Each structure stands twice: as structure tokens, then as C-alpha cells.
Structure 1
């Protein structure tokens, strides 16, 4: 399984579409076997779900995400966890232990630049 966390620095990004990139964690038998940073492409609506799907991502974790993006990820079979915050290492540990739960509410408004 490959998990991607939208990040800025070493913390979860408040909105995945405006993050510097994604820290990906390849997980086998509940253990992280590989950790890789993927820089985010230039932000354009709808580009990130296929971009991450092409990288083999199965789960996306972010602080916030618009409803359209959530649906695009779900169409590709990618699980979405939103409402995460804090340090990447803490968040991935919470996810792997089953403690991280999605808030399930998507961002309603977007201001694209």
C-alpha cells in the first residue's frame, strides 16, 4: 500500500492543492519500507488525483480538500483522509495504528490562483 500525505515542511498541509508536495510511504505488513518525497506539479483543478494515481497511491491524507477532488480520488479507488494536522511522522503513525479518522467534510470554497 502507498500512502501520500500532503505536506508543507514537515507538517500536514492545510489544503492538499496548495502543498509543496507529497511525502509517500510504501507500507508492507504494517511497516514503512520506503519513504519518498514527490514535489507537487503546478496547481490546476483536477490534476492531482490522476497525478497521484499514476504514482501508485492508495491513500491520500491532507488537512483539507475540496469535494470535487474527494470524488476524483474515490473514482480512482484512492481512499481520502481529511482533517489531519501536525507532524508527518506522528500522522503516519496514527494512520497505521488506526487512530487517524477522516473528518469527512470537504472544503466548500476555493480561490484558485
Structure 2
């Protein structure tokens, strides 16, 4: 299984489409088999879900994401988890332990900032 986390440096990005890149974790049940970084190839409508699917991604984790992007990920059979915050390595550990839950909230412009996990 591959989990992509939208990141800025070592932290989860507030908006997946404008992130620096994606930290991709390869998991086997509860063990991390590998970790790599892929630069964001650019924010274009509908592109990133297809790009990440091509990398074998099963789950995308981000701080925020718009409704259309969430729908496109779902259409590509990629689970979406939004409102994650903190260090990417901490977030993946929460995911592995089953402690990371998506708020399901939708980013409209940048209204989501400061409201995740309230």
C-alpha cells in the first residue's frame, strides 16, 4: 500500500494542490517499507489524482482539499484524508495506528485555515 502526504518540508501542507511535493510511504500492514519524495509537478485541474494513481497511491493525506479534487481522487479509487496537521512522519504513524481520521471538510478557497481539527 502507498500513502502520499502533501507536504511542505517535513510538515503536512495546508492545501494539497499547492504543496511543495508528496512524501510517499510504502506500507506492509503496520510497517513502513520505504519512504520517498516526489516534487509537485504542478497544480492543474484534474492532474494530481491521475499523477498519484500512476505512482500506485492508495491514500492521499493533506491539510485541506477542494470538493472537486476529493471527487477526482475518489473516482481514481484513492482514499482522501483531510485536516491532518503536523510532521509527516508523525501523521503516518497515526495512520498506521488507526488514529488518523478525515474530517471530510471541504476547502473553499482558504477558509479551512485554522479550522481543521477544531
Q: What TM-score range do you get, normalising by the shorter chain?
A: over 0.9
**What is aligned with 1:34?**
34
**What is aligned with 1:49?**
49
- Structure 2 residue runs without a partner (length 5+): 111-118
Does residue 22 of the first structure (1) align with residue 22 of the second (2)? Answer: yes
Task: Using structure 2 for the length normalisation, give the TM-score.
Answer: 0.90
Distance 2:88 2:28 in 1: 18
**What is aligned with 1:78?**
78
- Structure 1 residue runs without a partner (length 5+): none
Q: CA deviation at 1:19?
A: 0.3
Q: How many residues align structurally?
A: 110
Q: What's the RMSD between the two structures over aligned residues? A: 0.9
Q: Deviations over 1:28-55 (max 9, x none)?
A: 1210001010111021121100000000
Task: Using structure 1 for the length normalisation, give the TM-score.
Answer: 0.94
Where does structure 1 differ by over 4 angstroms across 4 or more consecutive aligned residues? none
